Amino acid sequence: MSNIVLPILMLQIIKLPLGPIQTNCYLLADAEIKICVVVDPSGSAQSIEKVIRKEGWHLQAIWLTHAHWDHFLGLVALLEKYPETPVALHVLDLPLYQAGGGARWWNIPIELGPAPRIALEQVRTLQVGAHSAQVLFVPGHAPGHVAFYFAHAQALIGGDVLFAGSIGRTDLPSANHAQLLASIRAQFLTLPDATIVYPGHGENTTIGTERVSNPHLLDASW
């Protein structure tokens, strides 16, 4: 009799750069039980729906890292396809969300989404099927910014906090540079080097790479 080795089922992560500034939307799935979550529906709901349909997944929730318009531009259209799906947001980003995420500064028309049903300030962990994510509070780029950390998958869905070679903008209203750096130091740089950062814009990176090469984190004065 041979040993049967069961494959370790990983969290499945699909990245879709969407919308006018190619903001990364992520589909996170427990493929075994066919449950998925959409993080930051940043554009074409059709593109998101296409993946969900093709994979045969059930959409369980929509999580927002923060409420800048480019991270929820496709939210209302996605909810039309998947009504009653709960939306998660931190309360400190609610005013930004209700104001259209700053879309008006850029003359971008945006439909306002429904009231969030999952209040992220009250939640320490979230589930995608069998996969647990810690909700990390990382204000600075936006006052209610959160990130989703899947320790067993070594995956950090980071939003606009830390990018490959860069960090989130803090020249926007209600942003705070010192707070952003403090968030990165306390919540991100304490994670293992192998952790893959899935950012809100651009290519993936790792905590280890950014720790030793990100110019914003090498400045000794912070």
Give min distance, CB of 199 to Zn ion, in A. Answer: 9
Concatenate the DSSP letters of all residues of 142-211 into one string: STT-EEEEETTTTEEEEETSEETTEE---SSTT--HHHHHHHIIIIITTS-TTPEEEESSS--EEHHHHH
Cβ proximity to Zn ion, 129 vs 199, nearer residue: 199
Q: Which distant-in-sequence residues (6+ apart) come within 8 Å of 175 by Cβ?
A: 140, 141, 142, 168, 169
Give min distance, CB of 159 to Zn ion, in A. Answer: 7
Cβ proximity to Zn ion, 68 vs 131, nearer residue: 68
**Nearest residue to Zn ion on Cβ basis:** 68
Question: The tokens of 203 are what?
Answer: 């290519």
Sites of contact with Zn ion (CB under 5 A):
68, 70, 160, 200
Three-state DSSP at 212 gives: helix
Give min distance, CB of 132 to Zn ion, in A. Answer: 25
Cβ proximity to Zn ion, 25 vs 35, nearer residue: 25
Cβ proximity to Zn ion, 95 vs 192, nearer residue: 95
46, 36 Cβ separation under 8 angstroms: no
Give min distance, CB of 21 to Zn ion, in A. Answer: 7
